[in-house]
Amino acid sequence: MHTERIHLPAMLLGGVGFYGDPFHQKGGWDSENEIGHAFERFSAFAAQHSERPYSSGREVLYELHIYGSETQSKGRFEVFIGEEVNTPILPIALCSKYLPAADYLKLTLFGDEISGDWWQALSTEILPSLRLKQSAPYIIQTYDHRFKGTDRIAESVIDAYIPVEEI
């Protein structure tokens, strides 16, 4: 795992979402869990709409985990899968998410680190060791040409972004 503190400009994303416990039927990194289903829904939409004038054209998929009051007690959170867009005016099948400019801890995860417990170690090990704390209740994961699929995690690389501030 490689870590780097960076600043990202504001981003507008368009995509699909799910709210609940995404692992209630299948565990993490299984294409049959609710995160996998959201990826399928967005990918099917993108395939059916190859011309998307609202798309930024970047070949990066974003996965947001947005945590709330039911996350700790019931395991429920929002999952959002989408792409960068240039307008909030989107087709009815999509919704948008605005992410403000912020400082982030960028984690580059390699192979089996991707499916490991890095996200559980964030608040207890990784962030404190860097004298940082999470500044907003979400995590961004990005998938580009380096991600080879859930069946080829060992060969893949992803970046995760955690909004942070100094302790």
Residues paired with residue 122 on neighbouring β-strands, in sequence order:
none
Query: What does the pLDDT average to over 105-125?
Result: 90
What percentage of the chain has pLDDT greater than the value 90?
74
Number of domains present in the structure of the chain: 1
Higher pLDDT, 121 or 99: 99
Q: Is 35 helix (H, G, I), strand (E, B) or coil?
A: helix
Average pLDDT of the chain is: 91
Rounded mean pLDDT of 65-86?
92
Rounded Cα–Cα distance for residues 101 and 28 (Å): 29
pLDDT of 35 reads 84
CATH number at residue 99: 3.20.80.10
Tally of residues, the chain:
167
What percent of the chain has pLDDT above 70?
Answer: 94
Q: Tell me which residue range forms the domain holding 87.
A: 2-166
Q: Identify whether the C-beta of residue 167 lies closer than 8 Å to the C-beta of residue 8.
A: no
- Determine contact, residues 99/13, Cβ cutoff 8 Å: yes
Q: pLDDT digit string (tens) for 3-62? A: 999 999 999 999 999 987 777 665 565 566 778 889 899 999 999 999 999 999 999 999
Please tell me the distance from the alpha carbon of residue 157 to that of residue 145, in angstroms, as a whole number: 9
**pLDDT recorded at residue 88:** 92
